[in-house]
Amino acid sequence: MSFELIKKVNDEQKKHAVVNVKSGDTVRVHQKIKEGNKERIQIFEGVVIRTDRKKSHTSRITVRKVASGVGVEKSFLLHSPLVEQIEVVRRSKVRRNYLSFLRNRSGKSARLRQVIFDKAAVNTLPEEKIEEVAAPAEEAEAKA
């Protein structure tokens, strides 16, 4: 009984449409930043070095980039209301989920082999899929 209630609350917190992000992808994350009364969107572009708990409402990605010669890593919750949009810029072939070895590399040795993919299909969900995802939630609301 309580497990079902917890699952229902967690599912309500999830976003309906999330881009399928994998380790090795170069992504551009649009994040809301609040400064006093003002709100702006900051873009963080880098390589996804880790993905955690993909099916959960607490799913997270860790993105790494090198800024001014210093490695910067940021972790983003995919279902957070502060994450406005995630777009996949480049996709690479990797053989593991956690790319910690990239921290010790720089220059040519830090390159990943690119894979050709359909950028438009990955970054936008078709309206049919969004309707399929939204339909079960609407049915649950009708029952309640």
Q: What is the pLDDT of residues 63-86, one digit of tens each?
A: 999 999 889 999 999 888 898 888
Instruction: Give the 3-state secondary structure of residue 72.
Output: strand
In this structure, is residue 82 part of a structural domain? Answer: yes
How many domains are contained in the chain?
1
> How does pLDDT run across 107-122, given as a tens digit for each residue?
889 888 988 888 888 8
In this structure, is residue 134 part of a structural domain? Answer: no
In this structure, is residue 144 part of a structural domain? Answer: no
Q: Above 70 in pLDDT, residue 134?
A: no
Say how far residue 6 (Cα) sits from the centre of its chain.
Answer: 23
Q: Which helix (H) or strand (E) is 87 found in, with range?
A: strand 83-92
Q: What is the CATH number of the domain that holds 41?
A: 2.30.30.790
How buried is residue 44: exposed, middle or buried, by Cβ count under 10 Å (0-12/13-18/19+)? middle
Paired with 44 in beta bridges are 29
* Cα–Cα nearest to 137, from 17, 20, 27: 17
In this structure, is residue 6 part of a structural domain? Answer: no
In this structure, is residue 95 part of a structural domain? Answer: yes
Range of the domain at 57: 18-124
Record the pTM: 0.75
Q: Above 80 in pLDDT, residue 14?
A: no
